[in-house]
């Protein structure tokens, strides 16, 4: 069996279907996209090459930079707020009784399998300024000053979208952390208990360091997922008010499809690809370089 | 081993070539020769032996469009087209609909028939994806049913790309209000913009939303409020804008934007207005949460049914020289209506279905809304409600009628950027100067 999987043609045969799909639908489209990014193009026909003009226009566009900032705000929420919460959930889940574990596992997966439209509509209702759940609670607590138009206020709209997006995957991430925790040998904890370590010490000294691989996987998944954030923005605010809540991918979509400027849209796409490659490189460089084996 | 890698490489290259061919735009199989109406030689196309399937894309976010589709088109299509099976593609509304249609257009794989406004129609026509309906219009005598012949005249290129019911020409933006609420609080209807401002402040103090508008994607300012505010001060500036004789830096335009900003700042619209869609805006009015509604007269029938205490006022003027009763903005543009795909397999069926849709559209307005249309359906409109009669009388009496700038002149880019700027304006924190600075360069390209 080992000989079979060590055989390069066998590896290639197994990898071929996904490699083919990846090549056709991911790698191949990048080439015409690069070409279009140097053209004045309305999506139907090219009106000639314009050199780096599209790139210069994009880089001078304030909306593009705001879209980048919004995207990185969502990435920040994901990395520094949502992932630690997911880890905390996983640690707590590990300590629960079996029926509670089953309940939490179901609850964790449930939001992730719901349609984005359902999630976004639900959060629109939560944030509704006049009768929404959030403002109703705030008013009931006599915190009227905090009852805002969450999706129409430039200060709150991006974090509000980020919360809706991250809520959807909070449980799923917790579940992945939990499976990582289950893979850690119990003997480590037993030894730690004998040495007098409690829940927090064991978590910090054993669980979190040994979850490096899962953390790296979730970081890449979560950061790239946030980077390509589109659907929640489209449904919840349409990038508005104005262009305040646009993410990079939404800006790309707006420029290409709404203003019919596919040349500039493709330039945004290529810059976005470069941004994602840099981020992936940084994660690979600095997080969990060495594989941990138990 | 080398042979194996070579084989794999060939397979990948072949797959890429296949995908390249598959991704190529659909070829235009409707040559001028076969776009003409067949005269009996092409029996197979005229009377298909088996049911043919066509796709129809329509707006699905407003009640009128849904009623036209569900109660008229769907109900009557089997009688008119027994051998045609229609697949209904519901495209939502506003920017969602626009983007869906543009995505279809980019792929070249259009629905067989669809409804679109002028600014979207021009995109499809320039891409060569719209069918010339003129031969079919002449062949079927559809053109003879119109009271206003200009609506079925070919464009400068000799082609007619759009058929319409001719209802749009009667639509105008109104300020609807609840008579009961006005009576309850002893409120006077405003005649000037300043009176409107103080009225809104009074209504807000009573805990009601003064004016309900569709704020999502800047819909209400896009479609009429900016123009309404311009016309409130000087209708000639709106006419000049429509004819590209002025731009947004015109002081009258700036004042108009400032008036909208003022309304936002005094709380004339609901909290979170930038995220309020069409349906919720109507519901806010019909449920009595809002005292007034800024909306076109195409909703008149629905408003009367849902809120029998509804009445309207012409938009208040912002200048002593403008009589609100004398100035009116009308909807409708030559390319707003039903179009058919140039790439459809069944051009004749698609063209006839487009004309059928226009007729059903007109029937809906004649029967359900008791509203007149330029397309003569043969229906004698009787039992017109007093409110509809008042609307028509005021419409007819107005001496200055200005077409909708949005519907008649905006291209896709202008329309998108205008929506972005109007959405910002509705935050109340975006100055008219910033608005003008952003929109003028786009406006300069609009007529190119």
Write the pLDDT tens digit of every residue in B156-206.
788 999 999 888 888 899 999 999 999 999 999 999 999 999 999 999 999
**Residue (of B285, B260, B289) closest to B274 by Cα position:** B260
Token duo for residue A174? 């917790």
Distance CA(A43)–CA(A266), nearest Å, equals: 10
- A117 touching B, CB under 8 A? no
Looking at residue B12, its pLDDT comes to 63
Q: With 80 as the cut, is the pLDDT of residue B26 above it?
A: no
Contact B217 A20 (CB under 8 A): no
Average pLDDT over residues A216-226: 88
Q: What is the mean pLDDT of residues B101-120?
A: 88
Quick check: A9 and B4 CB within 8 A? yes
Contact between B103 and A259 using a beta-carbon 8 Å cutoff: no
The band of B411, judged by pLDDT with boundaries at 50, 70 and 90, is confident
Residue A225 or B422, more confident: B422
Measured CA to CA, the distance from residue A239 to residue B64 in angstroms comes to: 27
* B99, B105, B128 member nearest A258 (Cβ): B99
| A109 or B387, higher pLDDT | B387
Q: Is the pLDDT of residue B19 over 70?
A: no
**Cα(A255)–Cα(A275) distance, rounded to whole angstroms?**
18
CB contact under 8 A, B272 and A150: yes
Percent of chain B with pLDDT over 90: 64
Specify whether the CB–CB gap between B224 and B329 falls below 8 A.
Answer: yes
Position B28 confidence tier, pLDDT thresholds 50, 70, 90: very low
Which residues in B lie closer than 8 A to residue A7 (C-beta atoms)?
none
* 3-state SS string for chain B: CHHHHHHHHHHHHHHHHHHHHHHCCCCCCCCHHHHCCCCCCCHHHHCCCCCEEEEEEECCCCHHHHHHHHHHHHHHHHHHCCCEEEEEEECCCHHHHHHHHHHHHHHCCCCCEEEECHHHHHHHHHCCCECCCHHHHHHHCHHHHECCHHHHCCCCCCCCCCECCCCHHHCCEEEEEEHHHHHHCCCCCCCEHHHHHHHHHHHHHCCCEEEECCCHHHHHHHHHHHHHHHHHHCHHHHHHHHCCCCCCCCHHHHHHHHHHHHHHHCCCCCCCHHHCCHHHHHHHHHCCCEEEEEEEHHHHHHHHHHCCCEEEECCCECCCCCCHHHEEEECCCCCCEEEEECCCCCHHHHHHHHHHHHHHHHHHHHHCCCCCCCECCCCCCCCCCHHHHHHHHHHHHCCEEEECHHHHHCCHHHHHHHHHHHHHHCCCCCCHHHHHHHHHHHHHHHCC
Q: Which of A194, A207, A192 is nearest to A90 (CA)?
A: A207
Q: How large is the greatest C-alpha to C-alpha distance in chain A, in angstroms?
A: 75
pLDDT on residue B43:
43
Location of structure tokens 């646009």: A246
pLDDT on residue B42 = 45
- B421 pairs with which residues across the strands? none
- List CB contacts (< 8 A) between B16 and chain A: 23-24, 28
Q: Is A17's Cβ below 8 Å from some Cβ in B? A: no
Which segment of A170-174, B44-48, B59-63, B323-327 scores lowest on mean pLDDT?
A: B44-48
Amino acid B37: pLDDT: 39
Q: Would you state the pLDDT for residue B17?
A: 63
Q: B272, A152: Cβ pair inside 8 Å?
A: yes
pLDDT of residue B33: 37
Mean pLDDT (whole number) for B262-283: 95
Averaged over A266-282, what is the pLDDT? Answer: 92
Please give, rounded to a whole number of angstroms, the shortest distance from the CA of B48 to a CA of chain A.
33
- Domains of chain B (ranges; CATH) run 27-33+49-168+335-367 (3.40.190.10), 170-332+385-444 (3.40.190.10)
Instruction: Please give the pLDDT value at position B31.
Output: 38
CB of B403 within 8 A of CB of B171?
A: no
**pLDDT attached to residue A19:** 87
**Per-residue pLDDT, A3:** 61
Give chain A's mean pLDDT: 89
Q: What is the pLDDT of residues B324-361, one digit of tens each?
A: 999 999 887 778 899 999 999 999 999 999 999 999 99
Q: Is the pLDDT of residue A272 over 50?
A: yes
Rounded Cα–Cα distance for residues B119 and B166 (Å): 17
B91, B210, B271, B287, best to mutate vs chain A, most A CBs in 10 Å: B271
Please state the rounded mean pLDDT for residues A190-199.
86
Looking at every residue in chain B, the average pLDDT score rounds to 88
pLDDT class of B88 with cuts at 50, 70, 90: very high
pLDDT for B369 equals 83
Q: Which of B13-22, B50-59, B133-142, B223-232 has the lowest mean pLDDT?
A: B13-22
- High-pLDDT (> 70) share of chain A, %: 95
Query: For residue B272, what pLDDT band results from cuts at 50, 70 and 90?
Result: very high
Q: Which residue of A has its CA nearest to B18?
A: A24
Task: Look at phi and psi of residue B332 and say left if phi exceeds 0, alpha if psi is from -120 to 50, else beta.
Answer: left
Closest-CA residue of chain B to A26:
B16
Q: What confidence tier does A6 reach under pLDDT thresholds 50, 70, 90?
A: low
Residue with tokens 């060590």: A6
At A181 the pLDDT is 93
User: In 3D, which of A125, A131, A114 has the Cα closest to residue A151?
Assistant: A125
| Helix spans in A28-97 (H) | 28-37, 53-60, 62-76, 83-94
> What band does B384 get if pLDDT is binned at 50, 70 and 90?
confident
The distance of A12 to chain B (nearest Cα, Å) reads 9
Higher pLDDT: B17 or B79? It is B79
Q: Quote the CA–CA distance of A105 and A232 in Å, as a whole number.
A: 24
Nearest chain A residue to B100 by CA distance is A257
* pLDDT of residue B110 exceeding 60: yes
- Of B73, B313, B286, B279, nearest in space to B187 by CA: B313
Q: What is the mean pLDDT of residues B255-270?
A: 97
Q: Is the pLDDT of residue B23 over 60?
A: no
> Which chain B residues are closer than 8 Å to A241 by Cβ?
274-275, 423-424, 426-427
- In this predicted structure, the answer to whether residue B362 has a pLDDT above a threshold of 90 is yes
**Residue among B123, B146, B293, B126 nearest B208 (CA):** B293
Contact B439, B242 (CB under 8 A): no
Residue B35, pLDDT score: 39
Question: Is pLDDT above 80 for A216?
Answer: yes
Reading the block at residue A167, the tokens are 């809520």
Nearest chain A Cα distance for residue B379, angstroms: 40
Q: Decide if pLDDT at A293 tops 80.
A: no
pLDDT of residue B44: 45
Identify the pLDDT of residue B284.
96
pLDDT above 60 for B122: yes
**CB-CB neighbors (< 8 A) of A23 in chain B:** 12, 15-16
Under the banding of pLDDT at 50, 70 and 90, the label for residue B154 is confident
3-state DSSP assignment of residue A47: strand
Q: Is the pLDDT of residue A15 over 90?
A: no
Q: What percentage of chain B has pLDDT greater than the value 70?
A: 89
Instruction: Please state, in angstroms and as integers, the Cα–Cα distance from residue B207 to each residue in A183, B193, B200, B433, following that order.
Output: 59, 21, 11, 32
């Amino acid at each position: 069996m080992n000989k079979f999987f060590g055989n390069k043609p066998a590896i290639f045969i197994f990898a071929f279907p996904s490699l083919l799909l990846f090549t056709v639908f991911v790698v191949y489209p990048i080439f015409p996209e690069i070409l279009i990014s140097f053209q004045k193009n309305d999506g139907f026909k090219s009106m000639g090459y314009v050199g780096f003009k599209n790139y210069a226009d994009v880089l001078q566009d304030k909306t593009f930079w705001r879209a980048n900032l919004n995207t990185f705000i969502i990435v920040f929420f994901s990395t520094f707020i949502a992932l630690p919460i997911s880890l905390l959930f996983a640690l707590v889940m590990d300590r629960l009784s079996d029926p509670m574990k089953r309940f939490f596992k179901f609850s964790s997966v449930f939001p992730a399998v719901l349609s984005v439209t359902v999630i976004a509509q639900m959060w629109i209702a939560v944030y509704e300024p006049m009768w929404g759940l959030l403002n109703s609670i705030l008013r009931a607590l006599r915190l009227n000053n905090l009852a805002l138009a969450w999706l129409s206020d430039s200060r709150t709209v991006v974090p509000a979208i980020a919360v809706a997006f991250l809520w959807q995957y909070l449980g799923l991430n917790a579940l992945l952390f939990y499976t990582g925790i289950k893979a850690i040998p119990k003997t480590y904890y037993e030894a730690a208990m004998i040495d007098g370590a409690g829940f927090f010490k064991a978590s910090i000294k054993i669980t979190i360091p040994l979850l490096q691989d899962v953390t790296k996987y979730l970081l890449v998944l979560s950061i790239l997922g946030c980077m390509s954030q589109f659907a929640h923005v489209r449904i919840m605010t349409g990038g508005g008010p104005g262009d305040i809540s646009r993410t990079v991918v939404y800006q790309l979509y707006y420029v290409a499809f709404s203003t019919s400027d596919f040349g500039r849209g493709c330039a945004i796409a290529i810059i976005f690809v470069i941004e994602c490659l840099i981020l992936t490189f940084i994660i690979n460089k600095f997080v969990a370089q060495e594989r941990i084996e138990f | 081993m080398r042979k194996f890698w070579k084989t794999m490489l060939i397979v990948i290259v072949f797959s890429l070539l296949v995908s390249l061919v598959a991704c190529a735009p659909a070829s235009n199989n409707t040559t001028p020769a076969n776009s003409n109406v067949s005269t009996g030689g092409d029996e197979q196309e005229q009377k298909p032996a088996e049911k043919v399937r066509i796709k129809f894309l329509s707006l699905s976010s407003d009640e009128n469009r849904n009623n036209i589709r569900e109660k008229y088109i769907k109900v009557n299509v089997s009688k008119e087209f027994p051998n045609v099976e229609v697949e209904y593609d519901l495209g939502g509304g506003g920017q969602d609909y626009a983007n869906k249609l543009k995505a279809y257009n980019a792929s070249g794989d259009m629905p067989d028939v669809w409804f679109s406004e002028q600014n979207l129609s021009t995109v499809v026509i320039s891409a060569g994806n719209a069918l010339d309906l003129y031969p079919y219009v002449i062949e079927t005598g559809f053109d003879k049913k119109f009271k206003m012949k200009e609506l079925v005249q070919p464009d400068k290129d000799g082609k007619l790309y759009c058929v319409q019911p001719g209802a749009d020409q009667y639509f105008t933006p109104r300020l609807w209000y609840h008579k009961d609420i006005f009576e309850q609080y002893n409120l006077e209807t405003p005649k000037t913009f300043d009176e409107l401002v103080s009225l809104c402040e009074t209504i807000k103090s009573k805990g009601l939303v003064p004016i309900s508008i569709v704020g999502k994607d800047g819909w209400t300012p896009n479609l009429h409020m900016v123009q309404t505010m311009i016309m409130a001060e000087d209708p000639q500036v709106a006419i000049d804008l429509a004819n590209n004789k002025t731009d947004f830096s015109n002081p009258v335009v700036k004042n108009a934007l400032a008036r909208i900003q003022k309304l936002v700042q005094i709380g004339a619209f609901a909290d979170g207005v930038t995220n309020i869609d069409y349906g919720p805006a109507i519901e806010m009015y019909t449920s009595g949460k809002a005292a007034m509604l800024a909306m076109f007269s195409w909703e008149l029938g629905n408003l009367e049914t849902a809120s029998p205490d509804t009445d309207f006022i012409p938009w208040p003027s912002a200048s002593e020289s403008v009589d609100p009763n004398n100035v009116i903005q009308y909807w409708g543009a030559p390319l707003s209506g039903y179009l058919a795909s140039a790439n459809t397999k069944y051009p004749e069926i698609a063209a006839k279905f487009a004309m059928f849709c226009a007729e059903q559209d007109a029937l809906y307005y004649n029967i359900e809304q008791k509203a007149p249309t330029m397309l003569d359906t043969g229906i004698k409109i009787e039992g017109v409600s007093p409110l509809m009669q008042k609307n028509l009388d005021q419409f007819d009496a107005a001496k200055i009628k200005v077409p909708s700038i949005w519907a008649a002149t905006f291209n896709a880019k202008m329309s998108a950027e205008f929506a972005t700027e109007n959405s910002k304006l509705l935050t109340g924190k975006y100055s008219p100067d910033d608005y003008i600075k952003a929109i003028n360069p786009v406006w300069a390209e609009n007529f190119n």
